[in-house]
Structure 1
Amino acid sequence: MKEIVKVPQVSGKLTFPISLKQPGPRGSLIQCYIKRIHGSQIYHLYLGLNQASNEDGKFLLAAKRFRRPTCTDYVISLNTDDVSKGSSTYIGKLRSNFLGTKFTVYDAQPTNPGRLLNSKQANPRRIPAGNYPIAHISYELNVLGSRGPRRMQCTMDGIPASAMGPGGTAPTQTELLHSNVESFPSIPSFRSKSTRSESFPSDELLVLKNKAPRWHEQLQCWCLNFNGRVTVASVKNFQLVASPENESVILQFGKVGKDVFTMDYQYPISAFQAFAICLSSFDTKLACE
């Protein structure tokens, strides 16, 4: 069956759980939405156009926020009932710095397990689950104040910038690790460049930046065109592009209700990566507001 079903990049569909870790389709956005469970620290990601129907769309991922003295963790799981790092369905996490202005996305398994194997480790299944940094997100001081969206930048440690060019490819995981993950190596939220992904030099990594808003004279506010997918103005709303020259939106996130937000993404990032980036927008950022 796995040999017959194509990856999301080709099929444009999310099928097996591993497809949540694989790049989305080229040239079209997969439409999802996030529900913030009111009165809790839990967030659910669903596949679907919006929350208008009486029934939820297809459940994809769950995240739970854990506040620490010096940081905040968002643990991401395939299971709504067990969102913890000790769960066999744990697939990664997002960690913030104290101010909530810098974040690191960690994957429970390496994007390119073959690159981490030595001659004695020939089977990727034997790689212990842990915390492998795959993206770094930073928010800059908002010079526009509350009138404009936050300025953000995402450095995708596991994706080369060449992935956006003709014939370029993004790393694609082929299977999920299911092992006992009761203990994890303790990794600070930010480390030196030498400890980042060894797959690609830092100057060759894909960097996503928020699309610059345009001033709307009639509304007297800064606006972005979400093509009807966002209905409520919020400082949390954003669109990410690979470069100012290429305005094709890789990820967009925006508010449509009190606790409901749309999340649309495409190649070269995955649903897991997109969800983690969007979770960073929920965190309090007093230095950016």
Structure 2
Amino acid sequence: MPLSLDTHIFGSKGPRKITILLYNVEKPIHPLKENETIIEEWRAGRATDLIEIKNKTPVYNEESKIYSLALLENHAIQPSHKNFQLVITNGDHEEDIVMQFGRIDDNNFALDYRYPLTAMQAFAIALSSFHNRFRT
């Protein structure tokens, strides 16, 4: 499961851009050639057996001075730069939310996910939102 955490979308303090590539189990997987990577295949447009999942871009709220998402109402989510939603874009430009991660309070977060993600994949993606927290 290649995970790409690009630079922040709106500058160094804004939300990150996340792209996840999963193998589509409904399509045959073509073998990679020697010295070829999944990300190179995807960037070249040859990775038709992959599902691309991206984070939904948050909107900056001038009143509260934070980026925010309209998170699903399953939990009392607090504003946080760690909150994100992952979507798959369909051919008709509709977005299917396949995962959301949000802060409930200082020490608790909510993680909701569905197919095509597994519990292990969703948990690993959620943990990636903490990657800068422990750097010195």
Fold equivalence (TM over 0.5): yes
Please tell me whether residue 206 in structure 1 is matched to residue 55 in structure 2.
Answer: no
Which ranges in structure 1 are unaligned for 5 or more consecutive residues? Answer: 1-134, 161-168, 171-190, 195-200
Please tell me whether residue 145 in structure 1 is matched to residue 12 in structure 2.
Answer: yes
8 Å CA contact 2:67–2:81 kept in 1: the answer is no
State the shift of 1:230 in Å.
Answer: 5.1
Which residue in 2 is equivalent to 1:246?
94
Please tell me whether residue 226 in structure 1 is matched to residue 71 in structure 2.
Answer: yes
Report which of the two structures shows the higher radius of gyration computed on alpha carbons: 1
Please tell me whether residue 235 in structure 1 is matched to residue 100 in structure 2.
Answer: no
Q: Distance in 2 between matches of 1:234 and 1:144?
A: 16
Matches within 5 A, 1:9-20: none
Which residue in 2 is equivalent to 1:186?
none
User: Percent of aligned positions with the same letter in both sequences?
Assistant: 32
State the shift of 1:192 in Å.
Answer: 4.0
TM-score with structure 1 setting the length: 0.36
Matches within 5 A, 1:1-289: 135-142=1-8, 143-146=10-13, 148-156=14-22, 158-159=23-24, 169=26, 192-193=36-37, 202-228=47-73, 229=75, 231-243=77-89, 245-284=93-132
Count of residue correspondences: 118
In structure 2, give the amino acid aligned to 1:234: S
1:139-183 Cα shifts (integer Å, max 9, x gaps): 11113332x321111111x325xxxxxxxx58xxxxxxxxxxxxx
Which residue in 2 is equivalent to 1:16?
none
Q: Cα gap change, 1:144/1:230 in structure 2, threshold over 3 Å: closer, same or farther?
A: farther
State the shift of 1:218 in Å.
Answer: 2.6
Q: Cα gap change, 1:248/1:233 in structure 2, threshold over 3 Å: closer, same or farther?
A: same
In structure 2, give the amino acid aligned to 1:193: T
8 Å CA contact 1:150–1:236 kept in 2: the answer is no
State the shift of 1:223 in Å.
Answer: 1.1
Which residue in 1 is equivalent to 2:30?
none
Q: Cα gap change, 1:209/1:249 in structure 2, threshold over 3 Å: closer, same or farther?
A: same
In structure 1, give the amino acid aligned to 2:24: I
| SS of alignment partner, residue 278 of structure 1 | helix
8 Å CA contact 1:137–1:152 kept in 2: the answer is yes
